[in-house]
Structure 1
């Protein structure tokens, strides 16, 4: 805390003593030449960035570079400029910028009403942040969000949409950037990254990056340390062709994790201070992972593009923690706990290839796109759980240290091992036909095959082995009408399917089961008005999912396992609005709103769908609003920003109320000539709220109280 205060005092002194005249670099695409002085290339600027600051003109969410206006589905792209302006550290910091997306737990989100944990990196499977760790943004250039079924390009998955993290890559531009971070809860951090050409002709380019941050969060006993090492090498193989090699290492040490929530009553009121934690100081969650990637892309003439990629990752998450299991029956102040000792090694290998070709057939221009992908993953869980003689913990006056010996007692138990092996392979073909310059038709087809195998053992002795394989064909169709070049009206229909959880394919549960299937109808409008300075998008959608598994109470358990039945149906309806605009050359505004109504529309009496309560879905808000506005003052070379988020009432997995909340943030960014200083305050009114609900045994996940962050950014 003392280090943060010293940094804050020094920053404030610099803020007062070093006003720098504002300068703005000309924007060749802005349509008008700025009248202010042109800045030199090596200066750090807070001015000259507002005009079309967060605009994105190209996305690879369709596996190839494409204009978002030509994609018949809603999508959003969060770029590095917004990361910097908001001081975003990890994925949870950017959800407020995405309509239809809200926090569920850890890295999981509610996406158009459905819980989802899937993430992609550079268009491929292979998320190194397995289990209960949250993706970091240090080495990410942008986050692409494709809403609705994305199976045509990405294969089996959740129908709400996908999140694709696009990595930073080597650049010919020589650059060295360092960032020093300080903040409340003893936050301290340092990161640096460098890019440039290795040879005189720029055939070889590189990127090197390192990140370290440590803090003691507000939950009792906790301490977080994160380290990231990132290296990339790009080779220009031919005119228009490039091979990029990347390696990234992650090391997260989280003391007194894994974090569960804080218990609440049925009205959603916390039963104790949100700092309460079921974990002892000796508990931990450590993640160590590595990701290696190779991507090649090239042009073949003027009409054909080709890209291919391979990605391998391996990760190991080690956990020893105390799990809350609800209140003691005769004492509402004591929380029952059990101790869990778990090891989760995972490794995965994926390949993809994609190509596009523009050809004229029968007088019409066609843009054919074809591709294939393959993924193989092995995920193992070694788990032993100590349920007896674990000391309960008081809500009002927790005494820590009495559970410190639980790890030694748990070590006497045998591991239950679940070995899950997953294979996915698929191929797709899409044709985009230009009937006229203003009217485009899109049609696509995809074939997928998957194989799942689960092997369970206890103390090394085989208990059960389950295999299941299936395949499916899904379709996509759409139309795009452009009454003018900066307005795109679209309508689309798409199918999806996702395999059932491998654990649910157990024969004791009645498996194997056919995949969950779904379809979506969506219509909307995308605009880039006033030379792109106003981007306003709106979407209306309806998603239906079928074959969702439910517990069948008419059948007795087999070997202690509840019987399942695939007879559920869920319907999600809603609309979304996203607006990004430059109100003036110095003032930018972002606003998003999402309305969603997700209901269970077909089920049997007495049965329950996972994440469903009654006819509603857990943590699925009807209303979600987010906004961010930034105003720069050239006379003092500073920018002032203000943002907020509102999430309406929800219910937890146990049917408890998750109360609505509204929070606000603010920041100041100041140019110091040689550097840039960011001062940011989150939850400035220090509101106590639940970011999401979980269960009546483990409570709601509290949102962070008021925090302060300072970043000094130096570019050489």
Structure 2
């Protein structure tokens, strides 16, 4: 693949030398009448198919324009159209700025009264540090916007956000954190550019305080914190916009769901320097399973102070509280096969105890702009996740359906601290433009849990899954007299890392060809009660190449590596080694319909060393959390994504992925050639929306979406490859009138029995596999009434 990249480089250079010298760059900024940048307005070149939208700073850019005279046009719903005449000369950069006649508050009123969904973005968030349009990045990055999330009425990370990105599948969950798999492994959880993934967490983000979710495919540790070679998702939280608006929503639906949210965005001082954002959410929701419920509330205040045009300080705090039934009630067990039990089946007794989660996080970010081209950022974060809870499992199951249920204590504490400092800049050496990214990244993760205490719920009479008795039961109280640090000494793990990285993207021929060279040095120290202490360090390189065929089309190739610490318990006390990976990828991206709709396609191969999977055996102990460390896995595939607005009112998100992930090397020869657990070979999703633009039905929107998974792999290493295929159909309708909107969604329209699952052979009292699965909800409704002003 390195030879391939070299050949691709030479090929692109030869093309660029022929054509690039005859092109020009047009860029500029769109501001309101009171001097504030205007985001998401359309900038187009008349009588051509070229178009783009402004980013959060009001910037736009066209990278490859033939010499000639053009008319630039700025437009958006409710705005006065602005036009400017320009003349492009070969090899030059033309700066064109627009000052609209509307003020920032007037623009906000326009956005409220005639609001359109934003399903495609052109630029990554600042937390990805890239400083260039997504079209130019030599990597597959997909962004799910807040509007897409609202269209699908998703309330948290457990409700299928992954459907909007190719190749991702959501696996089992305990009700507190999301397990999302892509490219043959679990992808890491990030928030605002920091890897917050914990041993059992973090608490899944509620969408009330989420601005967007960026899914980054492949290794990307060089530009952020440590991350899995398969990729990560970066949750970007809402920040002050500098305008003033408020929004309220009330949601109700199946299973006695009641939810309210409030979003306050504004300024606290007359000069506009002190800005705020406050998001509030409260929810009560039962379940299609008896005794299950999830009650939750969130408070997320943000303060931002703009000292001047160059210095900004942002303080952010998020508190999430969740009260739910004891963990594990979603798991179903049988010796006969998947779907052997009704999907609303539960093993929980009627007096099932509740679990509480207290999740606190805080960010402090300082930004300094040295100039229009150089900026420094320093940020720190503190996370504290406290869990006081219980969990259900079974100790054994017989072919006649007799089960020995157990209730265990699961108190836990995640305490994580992060610090990052980085610089973005740009300078030129002759005809070459250098985009520089460099910085340091440190992290300190601490996890301790007491899951060592358990009680049998059926000491005399077994619980039978075919003749269930969910009557109240009694058990001896658990001992919480000692601090968690003492009780959970056997479940302690820590990770500390320090990293430094630098990247130079060299732009040739007016940025038509871009060569990325990067490296990251990482030092990691881990502690595990069973495996002991371990220290490791590694330098990971990255080489990328991106070529713009025209203003709407680019091709890229990339080679990079990853190095990630891992913790877990291997039976016998063997030390868990860090995960290392190599990624080879080629891809193409294109914008269509004036930049409103985008497509991307990529082909990749990832080699991962020391990947962890669940150990299907307890080895005769009470520990169900053993892991196995595989020698090497090989994952390869093809991914296609398309999203955005095809024409006014008609938007489409559709994706497809082919994934093949197998064990390529292992100390156990029987594992070689076996598929890696937890993925589907073929995954496709779609979501189509049409909103009427005129007439008596103006403001009415109709939508439909599907999720399809074929040739699925169970979440366990052992057992047959017998997971049923998956197809889910959803539909929705909405109506928008001035400041009001009403939406109704029907999920699982066909009322299909949908599952994810695996095998737990050690639970059987006789030979043969034990099937373990989780079922999704049957057909259900959700309605939301919103008011914005």
Residue 369 (1) aligns with residue 433 (2): no
Residue 36 and residue 477 in structure 1: after superposition, are their counterparts in 2 closer, same or farther (change >3 A)? closer
Which deviates more, 571-580 or 408-417? 408-417
Say if 1:43 and 1:674, in contact at 8 Å, map to a contact too: no
Match of 2:339 in 1: 270
Name the CA shift for 1:639/1:449 in 2 (closer, same or farther; >3 Å): same
Correspondence for 1:85: 151
Give the Cα separation in 1 of the matches to 2:264 and 2:253: 25
Partner residue in 1 for 2:125: 59
Task: Provide closer, same or farther for how the CA distance between residues 231 and 332 of structure 1 changes in structure 2, counting only shifts above 3 A.
Answer: same
1:187 alignment partner, one of 250, 257, 263: 257
**8 Å CA contact 1:46, 1:671 repeated in 2:** no
Query: Quick one: structure 1 residues 171 and 547, their matched pair in 2 at CA, closer, same or farther if it must change by over 3 Å?
Result: closer
The answer to whether 1:432 aligns with 2:494 is: no
Q: How does 1:328-347 map to 2 (within 5 A)?
A: 328=398, 331-347=399-415
Question: Offset of 1:64 from its aligned partner?
Answer: 4.3
Answering whether residue 762 of structure 2 is matched by residue 669 of structure 1, we say no
Note closer, same or farther for the CA distance 1:698–1:216 as it changes in structure 2 (3 Å cut): farther
Query: Within 5 A, what are the aligned runs for 1:84-163?
Result: 84-92=150-158, 93-106=160-173, 107-116=178-187, 118-126=188-196, 130-131=200-201, 133-163=203-233
Task: Return 369-378 or 154-163, whichever deviates more.
Answer: 154-163
Residues 665 and 684 in structure 1, CA contact (< 8 A), matched pair in contact too: yes
Q: 1:210 to 1:130 in 2, by over 3 A?
A: farther
Q: CA deviation at 1:276?
A: 1.2
CA distance in 2, matches of 1:559, 1:37: 66
Where in structure 2 are the equivalents of 1:223-242 lying within 5 Å? Answer: 223-242=293-312
- How far off its partner does 1:259 sit? 3.3
Aligned to 1:586: 649
In 2, distance between residues paired with 1:670 and 1:712?
A: 10
Partners of 2:758 and 2:263 lie apart in 1 by 38
Distance in 1 between the 2:248 and 2:115 partners? 21
Question: What CA distance in whole angstroms lies between the structure 2 residues aligned with 1:387 and 1:240?
Answer: 60
CA contact (8 A) 1:54 1:81 kept: no
Within the candidate set 454, 467, 489, 2:528 is matched to 454
Shift of 1:394: 2.4
1:655 to 706, 719, 724: 719
- In structure 1, distance between residues paired with 2:638 and 2:113: 35
Give the one of 549, 571, 582 matched to 2:634. 571
| Match in the other structure for 2:539 | 473
Aligned with 1:83: secondary structure?
A: helix
Distance 1:73 1:397 in 2: 53
TM-score by length of 1: 0.87
Return the alpha-carbon distance in structure 2 between the equivalents of residues 619 and 566 of structure 1: 16
Of 275, 295, 307 in structure 2, the residue corresponding to residue 205 of structure 1 is: 275
Q: Which residue in the other structure is 2:674 paired with?
A: 615
Alpha-carbon deviations, 1:453-488, whole Å to 9, x = none?
234xxxxxxxx6821111111000011111112111
Q: Is the 8 A contact 1:326 1:698 kept in 2?
A: no
Larger RCO (CA under 8 A, 6+ residues apart): 1
Instruction: Measure, in 1, the Cα distance between the counterparts of 2:40 and 2:196.
Output: 40
Q: 1:540 to 1:245 in 2, by over 3 A?
A: same
The whole-number CA distance in structure 2 between the counterparts of 1:677 and 1:312 is 38
Q: How big is the shift at 1:323? A: 0.9
Residue segments in structure 1 that go unaligned for 5+ positions in a row: 1-24, 456-463
* In 2: Cα distance, 1:195 partner to 1:528 partner: 32
Residues 482-501 of structure 1: pairs in structure 2 closer than 5 A: 482-501=548-567
* Shift of residue 603, structure 1, vs aligned partner: 2.2
Distance 2:450 2:40 in 1: 57
| Residues 126 and 311, structure 1, Cα contact 8 Å, conserved in 2 | no
Q: Distance in 1 between matches of 2:108 and 2:205?
A: 32
Secondary structure in structure 2 of the residue aligned to 1:105: coil
Question: Secondary structure, in 3 states, of the residue corresponding to 2:558?
Answer: strand
Query: 1:139–1:411: structure 2 CA closer, same or farther, 3 Å change rule?
Result: closer
Contact map agreement 1:171 1:196 (CA 8 A) in 2: yes
Q: Partners in 2 of 1:550 and 1:651 — Cα distance?
A: 13
Deviations 1:124-161 (A, max 9, x none): 13359953843321101000111011121234332110
Taking structure 1 as reference, are residues 432 and 599 closer, same or farther at Cα in structure 2, changes over 3 Å only? same
Aligned length: 669
Do 2:335 and 2:770's aligned partners in 1 also have CA atoms closer than 8 Å? no
Match of 1:684 in 2: 749
Report the Cα distance in structure 2 between the residues aligned to 1:475 and 1:156, rounded to whole angstroms.
Answer: 14
Q: Separation in 2 of the partners of 1:201 and 1:567?
A: 59
Deviation per residue, 1:586-636 (Å, 9 max, x gap)? 211111111100011122446659xxxx61122210000000111011222
RMSD: 3.2
What residue is the counterpart of 1:18 in the other structure?
A: none
Cα 1:362–1:132 shift into 2, 3 Å: closer
State the distance in 2 between where 1:105 and 1:638 align: 36
TM-score (norm 2): 0.79
Cα distance in 1 for residues equivalent to 2:773 and 2:615: 28
Q: Is the 8 A contact 2:390 2:408 kept in 1?
A: yes
Long gaps (5+) in structure 2: 1-38, 45-50, 52-72, 81-105, 761-768
Alignment partner of 2:324 out of 254, 258, 272: 254
CA contact (8 A) 1:44 1:715 kept: no
Distance between the aligned counterparts of 1:466 and 1:230, measured in 2? 38
1:272-291 pair list within 5 angstroms: 272-280=341-349, 281-291=351-361
From the superposition, tell whether residues 129 and 136 of structure 1 become closer, same or farther in structure 2 (CA, over 3 Å). Answer: farther
Deviation at 1:536, TM superposition (A): 0.8
The offset of 1:121, in angstroms, is 0.9
Deviation at 1:175, TM superposition (A): 1.0
